[in-house]
């Protein structure tokens, strides 16, 4: 039994959890029975008998009847305002299984058109070609403007896919954005054209191409922005999430997807904290240049002028890191790879530079610059060429300016090699993966990158064995922030549609997967001493679930309900009401 002080009147707990299966996620993954909490901090962990003395007349006692309690979940990489902006009421929900075919998508739009004024913009989010009936067996078939125009003649509509990398616009939106056959191609990405007529089809791939349309879509108002964050916090509470990294807000996000990465969110977070409405601890990864088009100049300008808000409680809101983008994603062949895609080409970097060597040098210089200014760096890198370069950059930066403990990390890291995972471990750096994205795409990526690379993709086993810190997360809105589905995906690696196991040698255990969602995330936040496990002296951030995750059939982990979420000793979600 661990206790903070010997029990006496003043150690009487505010809250005691008894008769539970407490999965502490301490060093030895010990299982306990009871937890006491006072002033938001865990004061005892042990058997029911050991914790009973902490119960006083005003202690709230929760008998969990054997239910498991985990440390609060840490979503180590997600986009909170973006996620909220993609959910009702701010956007049409186009995710699977709500939408299973292109006619479903058109029907949802037809309905929405009846609810808004003519001319009003309609945003939608989450369609996935892998689950659309017409597209799943035909990679050339995408939903196009012709599919949705008949139901939306007078309302511009923009539908972003689940990954955020592909955007569908209807003809009204193209018209308002001034896009026609004569519009030149974007500098990078693609504005898809009908091969016969040269007419834009409404499909825009990658962010630079999206800008052709998205700059015409009205930005969210201040009120809508706050609503977006509140919507997200609602979903997170219901899923046991008590900490997250908001992976890209700042002066570089003003224009991206209607302003969902704008610096205004920094003030919104401060406001929510002051009001007592911030029900998760937030770690902000700052975006200092235009999303997907960041330059060293942007970094210099913004790092010099940005002032980390000083008047906030660091237990709840911190600004430790800077985000850099190195490339795109595999399904759209925009990951920057060492070897060619099946159909040729090895993808592109989104870094400035005329040659690959220049782009490589730029990334290393950017990382070194951010590092030498005392920030942690998170680099979006999916292709192995992008990952290799980013890891080289981390190593170079740590050599050049030693000291500190920056814990830089690769975001996604789909194809990280064993050698680079070891290099990360050697400099105390890590990687933030999204296991559920893995099972969403594993059914169709073999056609794009070949079987061998597809089986290796998201090599969690390799990363853990190399000793690098591995976190798991949803990358919401890319996937819904249900960490149980992420655990199931990391453990089984079964394709969402086919159930086919992709790369069984990269599976990890349930215990390991739980660590990636708790203590490893706390480590990435430099807060493993105060959160991430159920131990005396740490924040009382807890998540009560309805099934024993350690013994249930792993195929059922995704369905385990979250029953209660506690943050800093306060119950912020209770399924029973
Ligand atoms: Zn992301």
- The answer to whether residues 425 and 467 touch, using CB atoms and an 8 Å cutoff, is yes
| Residue 247 CA, ligand 1 centroid: distance in Å | 6
Q: How far does the centroid of ligand 1 lie from the alpha carbon of residue 179, in Å?
A: 28
Work out the angle at residue 287's Cα, subtended by the Cα atoms of residues 346 and 326, and round it to the nearest 5 degrees. 10
How many angstroms separate the alpha carbon of residue 317 from the centre of ligand 1? 19
SS3 at position 573: strand
Neighbours of 448 (CB within 10 A): 18
How many Å lie between the centroid of ligand 1 and the Cα of residue 508? 22
Question: What is the overall mean pLDDT for the chain?
Answer: 94
- In angstroms, what is the span from residue 79 Cα to ligand 1's centroid? 6
Q: At what angle do helices 356-372 and 384-400 cross, to 10 degrees?
A: 40
The token pair at 343 is: 């159909």
* Alpha carbon of 77 to ligand 1 centroid (Å): 6
Contact 75/244 with Cβ under 8 angstroms?
Answer: yes
What is the CA(6)–ligand 1 centre distance, in A? 45
| Per-residue tens of pLDDT for the chain, all 577 residues | 666 555 466 679 999 999 999 999 999 999 999 999 999 999 999 999 999 999 999 999 999 999 999 999 999 999 999 999 999 989 999 999 999 999 999 999 999 999 999 999 999 999 999 899 999 889 899 999 999 999 999 999 999 998 888 999 999 999 999 999 999 999 888 999 999 999 999 999 988 898 899 889 999 999 999 999 999 999 999 999 999 999 999 988 776 778 889 999 999 999 999 999 999 999 999 999 887 788 999 999 999 999 888 889 999 999 999 999 999 888 888 899 999 999 999 998 888 899 999 999 999 999 999 999 999 999 999 999 999 999 999 999 999 887 789 999 999 999 999 999 999 999 999 999 999 999 999 999 999 999 999 999 999 999 999 999 999 999 999 899 999 999 999 999 999 989 999 999 999 999 999 999 999 999 999 999 999 999 999 999 999 999 999 999 999 999 999 999 999 999 999 999 7
Ligand 1: centre distance to CA 569 (Å)? 29
328 CB contacts (<8 Å, ≥6 apart)?
A: 165, 206, 334, 335, 336, 347, 348, 350, 382
Tell me if the pTM is above 0.75.
yes
368-399 tens-digit pLDDT: 999 999 999 999 999 999 999 999 999 999 99
**What does R_g of the chain's alpha carbons equal in angstroms?**
24
The Cα-based distances of 331 to 328, 414, 519 in angstroms read 9, 12, 31
Compute the distance from residue 217 Cα to the ligand 1 centre, in Å: 22
- For residue 407, how far is its CA from the centre of ligand 1 (angstroms)? 18
Instruction: Please list, in sequence order, all residues whose beta carbon lies within 8 angstroms of the beta carbon of residue 527, skipping any fewer than 6 positions away.
Output: 243
The DSSP bridge partners found for residue 68 are: 21
Taking the alpha carbons at both ends of the chain, their separation in whole angstroms is: 32
What is the whole-number distance in angstroms between the Cα of residue 334 and the centre of ligand 1? 15
Q: How far is the CA of 145 from the centre of ligand 1 (A)?
A: 27
Distance from Cα 3 to the centre of ligand 1, integer Å: 39
Alpha helix locations (H) across 150-263? 171-176, 207-214, 222-237
Let me know how many helices (H) and strands (E) the chain has, helices first: 19, 25
d(CA 294, CA 363): 10
CA–centroid distance, 78 to ligand 1, in Å, is 6
Q: Ligand 1 center to residue 412 CA distance, Å?
A: 8
Q: What is the C-alpha to C-alpha distance for residues 121 and 169, in angstroms, rounded to an integer?
A: 11
Helix (H, G, I), strand (E, B) or coil at 394: helix
Contact 381, 403 (CB under 8 A): no
Helix (H, G, I), strand (E, B) or coil at 141: coil
Residue 129 Cα to ligand 1 midpoint, Å, equals 19
Smallest CA-to-CA distance from 334 within 153, 222, 208 is with 208
Strand, coil or helix: 128: coil
């Amino acid at each position: 039994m661990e206790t903070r002080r010997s029990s006496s009147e003043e150690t009487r707990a505010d809250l005691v959890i008894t008769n539970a299966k407490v999965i502490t996620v301490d060093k030895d993954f010990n299982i306990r029975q009871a937890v006491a909490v006072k002033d938001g901090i865990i004061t005892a962990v042990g058997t029911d008998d050991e914790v009973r003395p902490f119960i006083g007349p005003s202690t709230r006692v929760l008998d969990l009847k054997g239910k498991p309690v985990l440390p609060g979940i840490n979503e180590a990489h997600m986009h909170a305002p973006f996620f909220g902006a993609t959910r009702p009421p701010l956007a049409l929900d186009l995710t699977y299984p709500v939408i299973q075919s292109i006619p479903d998508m058109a029907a949802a739009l037809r309905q929405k058109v009846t609810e808004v004024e003519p001319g009003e913009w309609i945003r939608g989010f989450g369609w996935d070609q892998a689950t659309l009936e017409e597209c799943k067996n035909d990679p050339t078939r995408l939903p196009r403007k012709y599919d949705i125009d008949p139901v939306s003649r007078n309302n511009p509509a923009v539908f972003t896919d689940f990954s955020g990398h592909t955007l569908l616009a209807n003809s009204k939106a193209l018209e308002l954005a001034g896009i026609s056959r004569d519009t030149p191609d974007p500098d990078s990405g693609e504005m898809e054209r009908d091969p016969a007529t040269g007419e834009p089809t409404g499909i825009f791939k990658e962010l630079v191409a999206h800008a052709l349309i998205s700059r015409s879509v009205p930005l969210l108002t201040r009120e809508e922005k706050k609503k977006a964050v509140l919507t997200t916090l609602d979903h997170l509470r219901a899923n046991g999430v008590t900490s997250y990294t908001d992976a890209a807000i700042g002066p570089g996000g003003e224009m991206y997807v209607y302003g969902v990465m704008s610096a205004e969110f920094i003030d919104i977070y401060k406001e929510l904290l002051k009001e007592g409405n911030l029900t998760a601890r937030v770690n902000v990864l700052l975006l200092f240049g235009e999303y997907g088009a960041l330059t060293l100049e942007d970094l210099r300008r913004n790092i010099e002028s940005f002032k980390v808000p000083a008047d906030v409680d660091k237990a709840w809101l911190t600004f430790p890191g800077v985000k850099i983008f190195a490339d795109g994603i595999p399904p759209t062949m925009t990951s920057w790879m060492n070897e060619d895609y099946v159909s040729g080409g090895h993808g592109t970097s989104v870094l400035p530079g005329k040659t690959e060597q220049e782009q490589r040098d730029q990334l290393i210089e950017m990382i070194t610059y951010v590092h030498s200014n005392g920030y942690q760096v998170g680099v979006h890198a999916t292709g192995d060429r992008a990952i290799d370069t980013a890891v080289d950059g981390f190593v170079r930066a740590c050599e050049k300016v030693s000291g500190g403990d920056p814990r830089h990390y690769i975001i996604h890291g789909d194809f990280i090699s064993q050698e680079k995972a070891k290099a990360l471990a050697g400099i105390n750096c890590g990687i933030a993966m999204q296991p559920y994205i893995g099972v969403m795409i594993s059914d169709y990526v073999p056609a794009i990158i070949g079987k061998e690379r597809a089986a290796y993709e998201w090599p969690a086993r390799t990363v853990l064995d190399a000793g690098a810190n591995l976190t798991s997360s949803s990358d919401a809105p890319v996937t819904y922030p249900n960490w149980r589905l992420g655990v199931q995906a990391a453990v089984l690696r079964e394709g969402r549609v086919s159930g086919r196991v992709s790369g069984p040698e990269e599976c990890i255990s349930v215990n390991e997967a739980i660590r990636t969602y708790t203590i490893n995330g706390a480590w990435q936040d430099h807060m493993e001493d105060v959160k991430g496990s159920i131990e005396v002296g740490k924040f009382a951030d807890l998540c009560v679930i309805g099934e024993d995750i350690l013994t249930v059939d792993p195929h059922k982990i995704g369905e385990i309900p979250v029953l209660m979420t506690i943050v800093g000793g306060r119950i912020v979600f209770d399924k029973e009401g």
